[in-house]
Amino acid sequence: MAGYASIVIDETTGDVLNEVNADQLNYPASLTKMMTLYLAFDAMEKGHLKWDQRLPVSEWAADKMPTKLGLKAGDSVSVQDCVLGMIVLSANDAATVMGEALGGSEPGFARLMTAKAHELGMTNTTFKNAAGLPDEEQMTTARDLVKLAMALYERFPEQYHYFSTRQFSFRGRTIVGHNRLMYRYPGMDGLKTGFTNASGFNLASSAVRGDHRLFGVVMGGESGPARDQLMARLLDNGFAHQSTDPVLVADAAGAAPSHKLAAKAAHLMAALSPIGRAEAAPIERATLKAPPHGAGRIVPAVQAEHWGIQLGAYSRESQAEQALHGTRFKDKEAEVVKPSRGERLYRARLSGFSEQQAREACRSLHRSGHLCAIVPPEKGNIKLAKRD
């Protein structure tokens, strides 16, 4: 199973309210279909598709397993049924039909998906098929997926309501959905579930209360109920401006130790997390916009060497200082970050890296058996989540 991860963002303010392993590469499973739907909505907006248009079903699409509408090779299906099939049933045959219609072939569509992902700022994402079926090269992160969820809501407000569809009629059958958390969580109106053996149980959700809409992504859950329970807790805490213990994320994935080792696990997660439990950093809203035609990757307005790494989090300041004294990176600026509000941990950090240098440094430390977390430039100056 891939690693576990989570992220929650306040769409109203752009603040990241919670994140655990948000930049770790994971398998998207059926959350992939959010990109297939994005491209379908985009094609309809541009007049390339119509809701009642019939799309041909290839043998390749008809053979997709396990979750499917039961489409037959040589048959045809409407765009609307494809969309509802993906949202409600997570139908793999419907997703493949859509991919072939838009990309000419599934590999061709996968290239379109990846290109669009990068335009949306999903720089760590690669798609290989339209449905999210297992492929070792099809990878993404929780942070990238939450950008996609937000882009669907902001870019296609007239279509977003389809993500709250609970059931629809298809050829005399009633197709019932399985996004059970959406049915019982107040204010939740989408988006998508996902599961493969490799990915674990994934979920992208959005909910609104008052003037605030939150988007959340959970990856790597051990079961559907555990994943749903974690998402509900993350959203509840987000709306209440409260932190969520990272151990709960690990526990939902079946990765947390017994209660006797919970304190040690919390310390470990704090060491891996570049921000404190009571801290939050803003997401870069501009990443949801595509760059001008012919332009390269949008680079944030920060110096290239403002990235950092975190060597650990400690209960005593002297321990953090000792960790810094023993580092091999003598040419970098060392800092002990004192506890934020509600915390008691001192974080040992080094700064002055480029993004590539920071990633290479952490990979080197991981190979040596040491903890390390990358600290992006925007997290150098942590700010508390905004409150009403």
The answer, yes or no, to whether residue 235 has pLDDT greater than 70, is yes
pLDDT of residue 246: 83
The answer, yes or no, to whether residue 315 has pLDDT greater than 80, is no
Is 58 noted as a catalytic residue in this protein? no
Is 260 noted as a catalytic residue in this protein? no
pLDDT of residue 309: 86
Mean pLDDT, rounded, for 146-170: 95
The answer, yes or no, to whether residue 8 has pLDDT greater than 50, is yes
Confidence class for position 305, pLDDT limits 50, 70, 90: low
Tokens of 342: 């509600």
Choose the catalytic residue: 6, 58, 90, 206: 90
Write the DSSP assignment of 85-112 as a string of letters: IIIII--HHHHHHHHHHHHSSHHHHHHH
Fold: same for 5-260 and 299-379: no
Nearest to 217 by CA among 271, 265, 152: 152
H-type helices in 54-199, by residue range? 59-62, 79-84, 92-103, 106-119, 142-155, 180-184
Instruction: State the chain's maximal CA–CA distance in angstroms.
Output: 71
- pTM, two decimal places: 0.68
pLDDT of residue 252: 86
* Bridge-based pairing state of the strands 54-56 and 15-20: unpaired
Residues paired with residue 207 on neighbouring β-strands, in sequence order: 188, 214
**Which top CATH class is 5-260?**
alpha beta
Mean pLDDT (the chain, rounded): 82
The most confident of the ranges 226-230, 253-257, 307-311 is 226-230
The answer, yes or no, to whether residue 147 has pLDDT greater than 50, is yes
pLDDT of residue 376: 77
Confidence class for position 302, pLDDT limits 50, 70, 90: very low
pLDDT of residue 278: 41
Choose the catalytic residue: 6, 30, 205, 243: 30
Cβ 283 vs Cβ 215: under 8 Å: no
pLDDT of residue 387: 28
169 burial level (CB within 10 Å; 0-12, 13-18, 19+): exposed
The answer, yes or no, to whether residue 115 has pLDDT greater than 90, is yes
CA 204 remoteness from chain centre: 7
Q: Which of 62-71, 78-87, 304-313 has the lowest mean pLDDT?
A: 304-313
Q: pLDDT tens across 74-111, in order?
A: 999 999 999 999 999 999 999 999 999 999 999 999 99
Choose the catalytic residue: 6, 33, 58, 68: 33
Is 30 noted as a catalytic residue in this protein? yes
Residue type, 204: A
Three-state secondary-structure class, residue 191: strand
The answer, yes or no, to whether residue 53 has pLDDT greater than 70, is yes
Residue 199's CB is within 10 A of a number of other CB atoms, namely 24
Torsion of CA 262, 266, 268, 273, to 10 degrees: 150
Q: pLDDT tens across 173-225, in order?
A: 999 998 999 999 999 998 999 998 889 899 999 999 988 999 999 999 989 99
Tokens of 139: 């990878």
Task: Name the CATH code of domain 299-379 (choices 3.30.70.1070, 3.30.420.40, 2.60.40.10, 3.40.190.10).
Answer: 3.30.70.1070
pLDDT of residue 33: 97
Question: In whole angstroms, what is the distance from residue 295 CA to residue 275 CA?
Answer: 32
| Cis bond before residue 66 (omega within 30° of 0) | yes
Domain ranges of the chain: 5-260, 299-379
Nearest to 283 by CA among 18, 53, 2: 18
Backbone φ/ψ region at 367: left (φ over 0), alpha (ψ -120 to 50), beta? alpha
Tokens of 256: 């947390």
Q: What percent of the chain has pLDDT over 90?
A: 52
pLDDT of residue 293: 40
Nearest to 139 by CA among 32, 280, 253: 32
Q: pLDDT tens across 242-286, in order?
A: 888 888 888 888 875 544 344 444 444 455 555 554 444 444 433
Q: pLDDT tens across 327-385, in order?
A: 778 888 888 888 776 666 778 889 988 888 888 887 777 666 566 777 777 544 322 22
Question: In whole angstroms, what is the distance from residue 121 CA to residue 98 CA?
Answer: 23
At residue 151, φ and ψ (nearest 5 deg) are -65, -40
